[in-house]
Amino acid sequence: MRTVSITLLVITFLSGAMLSALFANDARADHSPPDKRLLVAVDSLVISADRRDADVADSVTRLLAGQADSKTIALMSYASMPGEILEFDFDTAELMNGLDEFHSFSTVGVRGGQSDQFRAIAAGFDFLSDFDAAPGSRMLLLTSDGMESASKSTRDRLLSLVRLFTAEGWSIDVAMLPSATAASRAFLASIAAAGGGTAYDTGAIDGLANFASDIYGIQPVPVIQTLLARGGNALAPIDVPPLSDLMTVSVTRGSSDTLIELFDPRGAPVTGARPNVTVVKTAAAILTRVENPEAGKWTARALGDDSDLLISVDIDHSLSIELVDALPVPVGEPVLLAARVKSHGEPANLTGAFIDATVTNANGSAVYRLTDEGAAGDVIEGDGIFSVLVPEFAAQATSAIHMVLRWDNFDATIEDSVILQAEHFPTIRVRDLLPGPIDQGKFADVAEIEIIKADFPFPIVMSELNVQVISPNRIEIPSTVTAVDSLDDGSAWKFIVSAAPQGTGAYRVEAVLGTVYLGRAYETGSGVEGIDIGVIPTPVILPAPEPSFVERVPAWAWAALAIALAIAVPAAVRQLLVRTQPIPYGYLYDDAGRMLIDFGRVRQGFIRRYFARNRVPTSYMRELGLGRGEFVFGEESVKLRSGEARPNMRVNGRPAGQITVLEDEMRLGVGGRLLTFVLQPKAPPALAPDAGD
């Protein structure tokens, strides 16, 4: 096929020799090809016969010249034969002059004959082949002739030629001019489909707008779409958000007499004289591009001339909304929904802005307002992070979050959508083990810890667990944590906490799990308090006190004093004292059979020894926790008098009163300890001989 096409190109060059003098500004490039080529082929037979077709063809060419992805544009008009192919560099001022001359020449009436689409497309293929054009190069065909009079075989051969473009990585786009019939539109669309391109129906008001949108890579939103009567007018506001990079206003009009005006927020008209404004104006279309437009309400106004009108706006901005933390969130915990607004990848400082977030999941939808005011969950005012505290998710769910950035003083919005996943995270369950009386300084199991996720075991390594045992006076005491049934990797989901309490009272166990789950650094804690632990202190035998000053008086002095007292005090008084104040007797043992105190060996001061020797205060034995009171020894019984309104003691398993008569083998319960009062000392346990003795 390339051989056939080269032959046609020779014909093209011969017929195009007559055009050379008309284009003094011809800027054909040398044969060092750019990356891509673009060839625009205009059916001069069609556009010379219809003014509307000519206006649309000129508009398409100029819009394409204003923004194209190839470095050069080539123009070719054709009728029964292709004309000379003219090239212009996009970076030169010669292009616009060339377009003017090209349009003037193309609209010169062509007498008789019929356009040859086959020769035009073959010339385009040879042009791209001659430069060995890179993949992505294109040919744009502007015509309304759909070869309705040609046979089916002729049309099929043309489509076969078109398919050669796709084999080379090139494409053919077709702009169907307004005068095309329905049958012609259908065949011209098939040419674009076979050539891997796009067909644009410029006969419809949005056809030329769609072409401009594709060429400029924009997605405009219609603001005015109507049929304007002669003398009628239309007005539309355009809200431009802050930090916008580019605003493109695309206008397609049915008549060149339809007047289009654009005003900035201050009411000043927008023209191409501004340094940041570029205007491509043709009879059928106007494209206005404003770089870094001022934020606020712009206005588009049209004065009609009995024609169709479509005005669309595309605002390109670098503002983006992203969640500060898009990791899965734990079920059952409040969620701090925080979003950051960026411009060109950097945090944007926005005044008077807020974000409305619609959270939608299987349970329905709810709208929350994120602000940067340092309230309602927002931590720091004015840091560019918009936040709100969202209620907890009750169950595992996937939520779609649609975020709309708004401002207080105008209606522009920026939208974005994200997904937030609520998952069950590991939790801690702590249970007390209620240990019995513990010897002071000894370790005992006080609590059990389980790590679960949605009520299922969740193994962790012990280093992720921090456990404290707190005493009644809020002091951490020594404790250990032991894994139960560890897995092969050393992890476990159940642990036993052991501690060495220092005194009787209510203890508290606190456990904190710090781990990484689903990419999130996560910490959760739990605890149990009121663990009643009784501690048995180490037995204490009261030592004999050192001799007092009175006891160190010489014996002869006491003898002299005794003689004097014997004379002064009747013998009966002494006898009475002996009878009413017997010497203390009896013993206290703990439940391990160890003697705690021998009342007969308690040494008291001089006055108490002679005037109240049968009374032993409980303050002599503070370690036993008996509280305030005294033991009173009589001839027939021993009584324990308590100075407390409600003694903290049990006698033989029953609460004690303020006066308790002690009997042999009577058991006293004090502070988790069990004491036994006996009248006679117990025999020490026999020692068993060691093995080998």
And the tokens for 650? 């049990």
Which pLDDT score, from 0 to 100, does residue 101 have?
Answer: 67
Confidence class for position 7, pLDDT limits 50, 70, 90: very low
Residue 649: half-sphere exposure toward Cβ, Cα within 13 Å: 25
Contacts of 514 (CB under 8 A, 6+ apart): 464, 466, 521, 522, 523
Mean pLDDT of 23-37: 48
Helix axis angle, 117-130 to 152-167, nearest 10°: 20
The bridge status of strand 307-317 relative to strand 244-253 is antiparallel
- Strand partners for 259: 303
pLDDT of 568 over the 80 cut: no
Instruction: Quote the mean pLDDT of the chain.
Output: 81
- Strand partners for 406: 354
CA atoms of 227 and 232, how far apart (whole Å): 9
Confirm if 458 and 426 have CB atoms less than 8 A apart: yes
384-416, pLDDT tens digit by residue?
788 888 888 888 888 898 988 888 877 778 888
Q: Tokens 């802050």 sit at which residue?
A: 242
CA atoms of 505 and 440, how far apart (whole Å): 13
Mean pLDDT of 152-167: 91
Confirm if 302 and 259 have CB atoms less than 8 A apart: yes
Contacts of 380 (CB under 8 A, 6+ apart): 374
> Is the model more confident about 83 or about 427?
427
Which pLDDT score, from 0 to 100, does residue 506 have?
Answer: 86
CA atoms of 78 and 118, how far apart (whole Å): 11
Confirm if 623 and 537 have CB atoms less than 8 A apart: yes
588-600, pLDDT tens digit by residue?
888 888 888 888 8
598-610, pLDDT tens digit by residue?
888 888 777 777 7
Altogether, the residues listed in the chain come to a count of 693
Mean pLDDT of 339-361: 84
CA atoms of 39 and 127, how far apart (whole Å): 8
Helix axis angle, 51-66 to 94-106, nearest 10°: 160
Q: Global pTM?
A: 0.59
In degrees, rounded to 5, the angle at the alpha carbon of residue 148 between the alpha carbons of residues 146 and 153 is: 100
CA atoms of 61 and 46, how far apart (whole Å): 15
Which pLDDT score, from 0 to 100, does residue 162 have?
Answer: 92
pLDDT of 313 over the 90 cut: yes
> Is the model more confident about 638 or about 99?
638
pLDDT of 430 over the 50 cut: yes
- DSSP reduced 3-state for 82: strand
Which pLDDT score, from 0 to 100, does residue 377 have?
Answer: 65
Which pLDDT score, from 0 to 100, does residue 32 have?
Answer: 46
Mean pLDDT of 603-628: 79
Question: Domains (ranges, CATH) in the chain?
Answer: 2-203 (3.40.50.410), 215-317 (2.60.120.380), 319-423 (2.60.40.10), 427-536 (2.60.40.10), 558-678 (2.60.200.20)
Helix axis angle, 152-167 to 182-194, nearest 10°: 30
Weakest mean pLDDT among 123-127, 269-273, 405-409, 459-463: 405-409
Weakest mean pLDDT among 251-265, 365-379, 412-426: 365-379
199-234, pLDDT tens digit by residue?
999 888 888 899 888 888 888 899 888 888 887 888
91-111, pLDDT tens digit by residue?
566 666 667 667 666 666 555
Confirm if 508 and 499 have CB atoms less than 8 A apart: no
- DSSP reduced 3-state for 317: strand
Torsion of CA 139, 145, 148, 149, to 10 degrees: -110
CA atoms of 682 and 212, how far apart (whole Å): 112
